[in-house]
């Protein structure tokens, strides 16, 4: 499929359909009781007695949760068609303060909707749960050094239409891990959330999304991260940090941010149809068998796309912790049909590690700039270049002569296709 048709259909069409979904309330249930509670005691009693299809609505207000007495969701099970729903009377209308809010254990098919979380400890979805949905919530937890705000270890959980904002210290907004030390939660979906205003001044440890950690790199998670908006995500060079395998990162918008999309650990990940605009970092790649396709990257201070180098050739089961933390040189990576506009460099590599990429393909990308360098790739032996278009007055760099055609007239591809990145009105609990 050509670039114009892909963008017009896959991005514009899907966004248009998705905007309708933002207006939907919590899905209707086929049966069950609908109750209104106005105290934490009433809420706990309603949860304890809940059955599939029940909807528990909490009256708007601020509820200090006493230390040692969180809201327990233990051994409660809805069904896929009839979840147990606990919701605020209106989005962000119920404010939960204190040390903890909800504590989950051995539960499934639970939906939590519309709460403003202001607690001082991590909200956890543990691995003995599954199919937990957090939707239309507002996260601004205590700004404590090292505090992660939401940690998902429950299989097939959905994190959608939430706002995460206002952190200035070390710690991540959303982490996805799994059971034990090397497993990943399966099939987590992170969609239509708004991540903004992380201002941690350090250079590591403030990711909006961290999808795994190095000991879990070879675990296949099958997560889908799509249609999320990141603005002023300045806590880490990695706005979306992927440290596991088999995930799809698509149709997200990262705007005015220090962070980009980084495949730091893991294999067989896909990065498709994302917008990265007016920031410091684009897409950076380590590991094997990834596909980086149909992304639009504009006005990045550094390189639009970085195909990394390695200090290890491949990660493997049983390797030392030090080896696992190393950078896996990319093998069999496809970088295709991306548009890179007015970045410091279009596509570049790394020379400060000794292991080069192998069997990688860079094909049919459109690189547009009137200054700087289109390509700066120190390792050429392991790369096949084919059908790329270089446009504008920037220097070609060291792209092989048979790997591109040249155009000189300045051009903005986005003007020719009916696409647009996401904006705040498209995502989060107050989307309209």
Kind and range of the H or E element at 2?
A: none
| pTM for the full predicted model | 0.90
Name the burial class of residue 67, with classes exposed (0-12), middle (13-18) and buried (19+) by CB atoms within 10 angstroms of its CB: exposed
pLDDT in tens, 77-133: 999 999 999 999 999 999 999 999 999 999 999 999 999 999 999 999 999 999 999
How would DSSP label each residue in 181-242? Answer: TT---SS-EEES-EEEEE---SSSS--SEEE--GGGTTSB---EEES-EEEEE-SSSEEEEE
8 A C-beta contact, residue 294 and residue 314 = no
Are 230 and 279 within 8 A, CB to CB?
A: no
Cβ atoms of 237 and 262 within 8 Å: the answer is: yes
> Which CATH number does 3-26+136-426 carry?
2.160.20.10
Higher pLDDT, 174 or 19: 174
Q: Answer positive or negative: Cα dihedral of 76, 37, 68, 115.
A: positive
Q: Where are the domains of the chain?
A: 3-26+136-426
Q: Where does the pLDDT of residue 296 fall: very low under 50, low under 70, confident under 90, or very high at 90 and above?
A: very high
Averaged pLDDT score across all residues of the chain: 90
């Amino acid at each position: 499929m050509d670039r114009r048709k892909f963008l017009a259909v896959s991005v514009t069409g899907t966004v248009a359909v998705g905007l309708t979904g933002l207006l939907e309330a919590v899905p209707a249930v086929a049966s069950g009781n609908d109750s209104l509670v106005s105290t934490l005691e009433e809420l706990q009693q309603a949860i304890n007695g809940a059955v599939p299809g029940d909807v528990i609505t909490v009256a708007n207000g601020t509820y200090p949760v006493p230390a040692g007495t969180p809201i327990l969701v233990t051994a409660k099970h809805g069904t896929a068609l009839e979840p147990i729903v606990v919701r605020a009377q209106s989005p962000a209308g119920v404010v939960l303060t204190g040390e903890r809010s909800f504590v989950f254990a051995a539960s499934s098919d639970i939906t939590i909707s519309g709460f403003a979380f202001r607690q001082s400890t991590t909200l956890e979805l543990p691995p003995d749960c599954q199919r937990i949905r957090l939707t239309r919530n507002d996260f601004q937890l205590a700004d404590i050094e090292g505090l992660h705000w939401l940690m998902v270890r429950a299989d097939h959980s959905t994190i959608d239409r939430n706002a995460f904002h206002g952190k200035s210290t070390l710690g991540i907004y959303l982490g996805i891990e799994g059971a034990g030390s090397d497993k990943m939660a399966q099939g987590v979906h992170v969609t239509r959330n708004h991540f903004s205003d992380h201002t941690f001044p350090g250079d590591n440890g403030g990711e909006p999304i961290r999808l795994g950690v190095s000991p879990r790199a070879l675990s296949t998670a099958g997560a889908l991260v799509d249609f999320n908006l990141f603005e002023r995500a300045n806590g880490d060079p990695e706005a979306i940090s992927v440290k596991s395998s088999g995930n799809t990162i698509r149709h997200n918008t990262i705007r005015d941010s220090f962070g980009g999309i980084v495949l730091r650990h893991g294999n067989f990940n896909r990065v498709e149809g994302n917008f990265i605009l007016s920031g410091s970092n684009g897409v950076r790649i380590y590991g094997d068998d990834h596909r980086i396709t149909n992304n639009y990257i504009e006005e990045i201070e550094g390189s639009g796309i970085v195909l990394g180098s390695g200090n290890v050739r491949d990660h493997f089961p049983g390797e030392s912790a030090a080896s696992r933390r190393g950078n896996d040189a990319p093998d069999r990576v496809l970088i295709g049909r991306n548009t890179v506009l007015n970045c410091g460099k279009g596509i570049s590599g790394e020379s400060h590690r000794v292991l080069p990429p192998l069997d990688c393909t860079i094909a049919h990308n459109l690189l547009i700039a009137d200054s700087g360098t289109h390509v700066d790739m120190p390792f050429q032996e392991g790369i096949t270049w084919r059908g790329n278009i270089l446009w504008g007055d920037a220097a070609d760099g060291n792209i092989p002569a048979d790997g591109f055609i040249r155009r000189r007239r300045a051009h903005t591809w986005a003007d020719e296709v009916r696409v647009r990145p996401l904006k705040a009105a498209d995502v989060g609990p107050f989307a309209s």
